[in-house]
A and B are shown apart, each in its own frame.
Chain A
Amino acid sequence: KAGVTQTPRYLIKTRGQQVTLSCSPISGHRSVSWYQQTPGQGLQFLFEYFSETQRNKGNFPGRFSGRQFSNSRSEMNVSTLELGDSALYLCASSLGRDWYGYTFGSGTRLTVV
Chain B
Amino acid sequence: AQSVTQPDIHITVSEGASLELRCNYSYGATPYLFWYVQSPGQGLQLLLKYFSGDTLVQGIKGFEAEFKRSQSSFNLRKPSVHWSDAAEYFCAVGTILTGGGNKLTFGTGTQLKVEL
Give A contacts to B, CB under 8 Å.
Answer: 4, 6, 31, 33, 35, 42-45, 48, 50, 55-56, 58, 88, 90, 92, 94, 96, 98-99, 102-107, 109
Q: Is the CB of A43 within 8 A of B101?
A: no
The winner among A56, A88, A90, A107 for most chain B CB atoms within 10 A is A56
Count of inter-chain pairs, beta carbons less than 8 A: 63
Which residue from chain A places its CB closest to the CB of B94 in the assembled complex?
A99
Q: Is the CB of B90 within 8 A of A43?
A: yes
In the bound assembly, the distance between CA atoms of A58 and B101 in angstroms comes to 13
Residues of A within 8 A of B46 (CB): 102-103
In the bound assembly, the distance between CA atoms of A58 and B1 in angstroms comes to 13
Which residue from chain A places its CB closest to the CB of B99 in the assembled complex?
A55
B42 interface residue (CB < 8 Å to A): yes
Q: Please name 6 further chain A to chain B contacts, defined as beta carbons within 8 Å, in addition to the given A45-B104, A50-B100, sorted by A numbering.
A: A43-B90, A55-B97, A56-B103, A92-B44, A99-B94, A107-B43
The interface size of chain B toward A, counting residues with CB under 8 Å, comes to 26
In the bound assembly, the distance between CA atoms of A92 and B45 in angstroms comes to 11
In the bound assembly, the distance between CA atoms of A55 and B100 in angstroms comes to 7
Which residue from chain B places its CB closest to the CB of A91 in the assembled complex?
B43
CB distance from B104 to the nearest CB of A (A): 7
Q: Is the CB of A48 within 8 A of B109?
A: no
CB distance from A5 to the nearest CB of B (A): 11
Q: Is the CB of B103 within 8 A of A33?
A: yes
Answer whether A42 and B109 are a contact pair too, CB < 8 Å, given A99-B51, A105-B43, A106-B43. Answer: yes
